[in-house]
Amino acid sequence: MTKTPSPLVRGALMLAALAAPAAATAQTSSCLTPREGEAVLLYLAPDLLAQATRTCAPVLGASAYLRRNPDLGRRYIDASADAWPTARAGIAKVAGPDVAPLLDSAFAAPAVSSLVAPLVAQEIKAADCPQIDRILSLVAPLPPQNIAGIAVAFLQLANDRDRKTGRRSPLPICVNGAR
């Protein structure tokens, strides 16, 4: 008799698939629509911003935007909650059919964000922090949806370059918004 893994273990397995996006996306040809990409970014925004603040605030000067706005991610909480249904659908497309059912669990939403954000944050280097601080200070007045739209537009540019060089993006956005 095989034992069914606990929701936490299943969540960890799902996130392992998401943490290795190249492996996960190599098995599928799925891409996210711009709307799905925006939803994924909006959903992850509070935790991503908290992680960026934790990583960068200690290495930035006292006048840095991130140092003066330590709760920056709070502004994104409502947008994050609203984005989850569309983000879940997008993540399921990229992660593949084996992971998709796990995303319907009540544990999936908090697990995805709390485990993916630190994985992204570990890619932030201290040398990146002044640029991150500047970018965040420039986009801060914009609504969260606009920021997600701008980020997805830049991802589309990067994805186009990646496709030309044969690399696979960790957040593949469909060409011209096609599915």
Query: pLDDT tens digits for 147-163?
Result: 999 999 988 888 888 77
Q: Is 58 or 29 the better-scoring residue by pLDDT?
A: 58
Does the pLDDT at position 3 exceed 60? no
Most confident of 41-45, 103-107, 117-121: 41-45
Is the residue at 178 inside a domain? no
- pLDDT score recorded for residue 19: 42
Tell me which residue has tokens 């392992």.
16
The full DSSP string for 132-168 is HHHHHHHHTTS-HHHHHHHHHHHHHHHHHHHHHHT--
13 in Cβ contact with 155 (< 8 Å): no
Does the pLDDT at position 59 exceed 90? yes
Q: What is the DSSP letter of 35?
A: H
Where would I find the beta strands (DSSP E) of the chain?
Answer: none
Q: Is 113 or 127 the better-scoring residue by pLDDT?
A: 127
Mean pLDDT for 117-139 is: 90
173 three-state secondary structure: strand
Cα four-point dihedral sign 165, 32, 106, 5? negative
Is the residue at 78 inside a domain? yes
Give the domain extent around 73: 7-169
Number of domains comprising the chain: 1
- pLDDT score recorded for residue 80: 93
Is the residue at 30 inside a domain? yes
> In the structure encoding, which two tokens stand for residue 17, read together?
């698939």
Tell me which residue has tokens 């280097």.
125
How far is Cα 137 from Cα 130, in angstroms, rounded to an integer?
11
How many CB atoms neighbour CB 16 within 10 A?
Answer: 13
- pLDDT score recorded for residue 178: 53
Is the residue at 177 inside a domain? no
Is the residue at 22 inside a domain? yes
> In the structure encoding, which two tokens stand for residue 144, read together?
């969260």
